[in-house]
Structures are given as C-alpha cells and as structure tokens.
Amino acid sequence: MVKILSALRSPSGTYGGPFRDVPPAHLLSEVYKTTVEKSGIDPSNFFEALAGWGIQTSEAPNIARVSWLLAGFPIEVPAMTFQGKNEGGIWALLDGIRKVKFEGKPVLVGAVDVPSTSPYLLKTVRFGVRGGHTVSHDPVEEFLANYAEWNEYLSRDFNREELDDYAVRSNRKAFTAQRQGKLKEQTVIIRFKKKIPGGETEEVVSEDRTIDPALSPSRAQKAETIFPNGKLTKFTLAQKADGAAALVLSTDGGIAEILSYSFSAGRPEDVFEIADRVVDDALKKAGNPNISLVEVEDHSSAIGLWAERKFGKDKVNIYGGLLAYGYTLSASPMMGLVRLIYGLREMGGYGLLVAFGVEGEVFAFVIGSTL
C-alpha cells in the first residue's frame, strides 16, 4: 500500500483574479513547502519531486524542479514534470505511486495550473510575417472550446432544470463547508508581493475565491446557454480557475492510503461507459469496499449528475465540485483528491476519486482513511 502522509492545496483563484500576477512555479512552491513541512519528512530524504502542469511556459518548463528549489529544498533531489492540460497531475501521481513502491522512499507529487498567466502564441513570427500582420493564438481558449463541446454532448441525457439544480447545490455545499471552516485545514495560505502605485504590498489569499453563494435556481435559469439550442451555461460548465495541490507519498504512516487505481481510454463521447468499467475495476482490485465518499471531476453538471445516479447524491462531492471551485486544468484532479482525503478524515471509511480526461481518458483511485 502507498500511504499519503500529507495533502494540501492552494485556494482556488478566479480567472484574472488574485493569482494573475503570480508565477505558477511560485504558487506550487508554496504548496510544496507547506505539504512537506506537514509530512514531517526531511526534504533530503525524498527520492524525487513530481508535478503535473498543463499550460507550460518557457520560464520554468520543468516546474517541479523550479518549485522544489524555490521552496528552499536540497538541490540534490531530482524532479520531473508531466505535461497534460487535464491529466498532467494524474500522470505525476501514478508515477509517484510506482516509485514509492519500487524505491521505498518518499515522493512529493504536485500539480499546478494558472491559466491567468498563460501566454498568447504568435505562431508565424519566427521566420517573418508577410504583409506585417499575424494572428495570436490563446492555447487555453482553443483547448476550452473543445472542452465545452464535449461537455455539451455529455449533457444530452439530462434536462436544463437538473443541470441548473446541480450547479446551485455544488456552490451551496462549497459555501457551507467554507463557512463551517471545513476547508481551512486543507488550504495553504498564499502570500506574494503585489505592485501598487508608489511601491508594493503583500497580498494574502487564504480561502477560495471562486465559490458563488448567491447562485439561486432563478438566477441559474436566466443564464444564456453557451451554444444555440444547447443546455449548458456559464454556471453548469466549470469555468477556468487558478490553483495548485500537493501530496507526500510514502510507505508508512499517513492520513490515508491508496488502495488501488485503474484507468482506460476510448472515444471522448463514451466516457461514461469507460468510467463504469474503470470504477468497477478499481473497486475490484481494492476488494470491493463500501464506498462512503466519491470525489468526481465534474467538468459540468452532466458529469456530476452521472456520478449521483451511480453512487447517490449524499456521497458525491460533499464539499462541492468544480462548478464551485473552477477548472484548474491539470491541477483539478489533485485538488479534488485533497478534498476527498479531508472528507474521509471527517467521515471515515473508503473514498473514490474519478477523474475525466477531455481526450477520452478516465482514472479511478480507491482511497482508505487511516484515522
């Protein structure tokens, strides 16, 4: 078994909000640092640091290494980054699990995405621009255009009222958890310098900025659909957000353990059928435990409703999902895993993480509480 010694995440930041001037490496380094401190492991004893990052930039292409060093940790510990707009953090986690099992040493696993800082691309500039004109490309928006179409297709079996209701409930659950202080222990306070007229000041972000407690059924129903004759709106499709998360994996102790995992791939339009197979396989590998909590990467209300039909409303995303916290690209599954771990600390029993790749990949992890 692979144990999770500590698990933390940053607050979720709105797109263009508190983290728009924060380099992704800085955001991840703050989460790295606090997660390692909480684990009680000497940084020099780590086998490796890993990270998933979707929208990479040239400033820190191996962000795992840069963030590790920014945290002030030993230069002798190597690091590796996994690129994937949605699955980067998951692939880093899978690699970390295997390395802990093989090496028997702690591994730090993280994920980060800050779409607010993602660059525009000028693809035709390198060898000159004919006529003096070119077109800029936004890799985030180009990716999210397909993301929206995919989720619209998945909503085909649900009506508008169901989709709206799920979004309202997601935000209410997140707001309630925030007000009750249940998110505080899992969240790293992020501090950074911010320029102001005449100098600079310290900005402090201590809680999620994406939750919409004022979302009501009537407000949701009035929202325009993203596509003509479609069903999804800006409330029922998870909007891009900024964030990071990290876990310390080891062989002993911990607050939770990873009992099994499974993944598969197929056509993006068939992800619910793929998810059924992957979930069943992961549960079988874990001995078919009774699952008390499910954290699903609900890119849209459609995915959340699929999960509620399969597992029951009371078990799915008890602290709210991506419709409240936003879609942090490759960091979303890892941030969801952190919420699941703290849910299990509160409720006990066994949990299930289900992550959906936009390209047709599905991942499932069975997690057991050790407390």
For range 63-80, the mean pLDDT: 98
Residue 128 lies in a domain: no
pLDDT given at position 149 = 95
DSSP secondary structure letter of residue 237:
B
pLDDT at 209 over 90: yes
Q: Is residue 318 one of the residues assigned to a domain? A: yes
Are 6 and 110 in contact, with CB atoms under 8 Å apart?
Answer: no
CA terminus-to-terminus distance, the chain: 15
**Residue 288 is assigned to a structural domain of this protein:** yes
pLDDT at 51 over 90: yes
Q: What is the mean pLDDT of residues 131-145?
A: 79
- List beta partners, residue 365: 261, 353
Find the CATH number of the domain harbouring 264: 3.40.47.10
Task: List the alpha helices (DSSP H) in the chain.
Answer: 24-39, 63-70, 88-103, 139-154, 160-179, 217-222, 271-285, 301-311, 322-325, 332-347
Please report, to the nearest 10 degrees, the dihedral formed by the alpha carbons of residues 137, 21, 320, 305 taken in order: 0
The CA–CA distances, whole Å, from 336 to 57, 264, 290, 331 equal 24, 20, 20, 9
Domain carrying residue 89: 2-118+238-366
- Bridge-based pairing of strands 241-250 and 13-14 is antiparallel
**Inside any domain, residue 260:** yes
Model confidence pLDDT, tens digit, residues 339-365: 999 999 999 999 999 999 988 999 999
Backbone region of residue 192 per phi and psi (left: phi > 0; alpha: psi in -120 to 50; beta: other values): beta
DSSP annotation string for 316-343: B-TT--HHHH-B-GGGHHHHHHHHHHHH
Please determine, for residue 50, whether its predicted confidence score (pLDDT) is greater than 70.
Answer: yes
Q: Per the domain annotation, does 155 fall within a domain?
A: no
Mean pLDDT computed over 220-239: 97
What is the arithmetic mean of pLDDT over 70-79? 98
Per DSSP, helices labelled H in 49-138 are: 63-70, 88-103
Residue 327 bridge partners (DSSP): 240
Q: Per residue in 1-34, is it b (16+ CB within 10 Å) or e — as a string?
A: ebbbbbbbbbbbbbbeebbeebbbbbbbbbbbbb
Assess if residue 202 is contained within a domain. Answer: no
pLDDT digits (tens, 9 = 90+) for 76-129: 999 999 998 888 999 999 999 999 999 999 999 999 999 999 888 877 777 777
Whether residue 15 is predicted with pLDDT greater than 90 in this model: the reply is yes
- pLDDT confidence of residue 57: 77
pLDDT at 158: 97
Q: Which residue has the higher pLDDT, 124 or 321?
A: 321
Q: Tell me, yes or no, whether 92 lies in a domain.
A: yes
CA nearest to 247, candidates 93, 64, 67, 44: 93
Q: Give the pLDDT of residue 119.
A: 83
pLDDT (0 to 100) of residue 152: 97
Per-residue model confidence as pLDDT tens digits over 252-304 = 989 999 999 999 999 999 999 999 999 999 999 999 999 999 999 999 999 99
Total domains in the chain come to 1
Between CA 279 and CA 315 the distance in angstroms is 15
- What count of other Cβ atoms lies within 10 Å of the Cβ of residue 95? 17
What residues does 187 pair with on adjacent strands? 9
Q: How confident is the model at residue 132 (pLDDT cuts 50, 70, 90)?
A: low
Residue entry with tokens 């001037």 = 21
Average pLDDT value over all residues in the chain: 94
